[in-house]
A = this chain, B = another copy of it.
Amino acid sequence: MNEIEKLIQIMGRLPGLGPRSARRAVLHLMKKREALLQPLIGALGDVSANVRTCGTCGNLDATDPCAICRDAGRDGAMLCVVADVGDLWALERIGTYKGRYHVLGGVLSALDGIGPEQLSIAPLLRRVEDGSVREVILALGATVDGQTTAHYLADRLQPFNLAISRLAHGVPVGGELDYLDDGTLIQAMKARQKF
């Protein structure tokens, strides 16, 4: 296998790229050596050398503790529990949450053999046991595994006398009722709010 085929094979293992799109991407890189290939090699090397997992919350950053954990302007009494770093980024993009995070590294899944020991649950319990955290927001997906994980965590957090909340379910902004699944509609009706 030559250099290009090897690169295509590795690129094809990225999510969202199959063999065909990996080939296109590699050809594009070869055409834009200075403008794209060299910057990509540099950026990958930087990330590989400098980015680490925050030992406190599990975020990815160039420092440990990460910028969010070090930010004194953030409310350390609120902890938002997310499955993955991508979810943390999604919440940071909306920019309204000013507490801290805890990244589980996934959700419980009997099918994939992921139990509580595979997730960052013991570190979460250690973070709340000194009493400095007053509210934990379980920001997990509205999937079966996500909700199972939320219930499991709510049980484990029970003894610490915290406010435990979850994200609201309901009609997505811009969503048409006609196209919504029944489960969402039922939740939206149950949690209806005063106009």
Question: B-contacting residues of A (Cβ < 8 Å)?
Answer: 2-4, 6-7, 10-11, 13-17, 21, 23-30, 33, 36-41, 43-48, 50-51, 60-62, 84-86, 89
Contacts and interface: CB of A to CB of B under 8 A. Distances in A.
Contacts of A36: 10, 13-14
A47 B46 CA distance: 19
Contacts of A11: 40
B30 A40 contact: no
A30 B46 CA distance: 12
A27 B86 contact: yes
Contacts of A23: 86, 89
A10 B40 contact: yes
Q: Is the interface of A mostly helix, strand, loop or mixed?
A: helix
Count of chain copies: 2
B7 A14 contact: no
Contact of A27 (B7, B28, B29, B84): B84
B30 A85 contact: yes
B86 A3 contact: no
Which among A4, A11, A24, A36 has the greatest number of chain B C-beta atoms within 10 A?
A: A4
Nearest to A13: B36
A40 B26 CA distance: 12
A46 B2 CA distance: 10
Which among A21, A39, A47, A50 has the greatest number of chain B C-beta atoms within 10 A?
A: A47
B51 A29 contact: no
Nearest to A27: B86
B60 A4 contact: yes
A21 B25 contact: no
Contacts of A45: 41
A51 B3 contact: yes
A10 B48 contact: no
A47 to B, nearest CB: 5
Contacts of A60: 4, 30
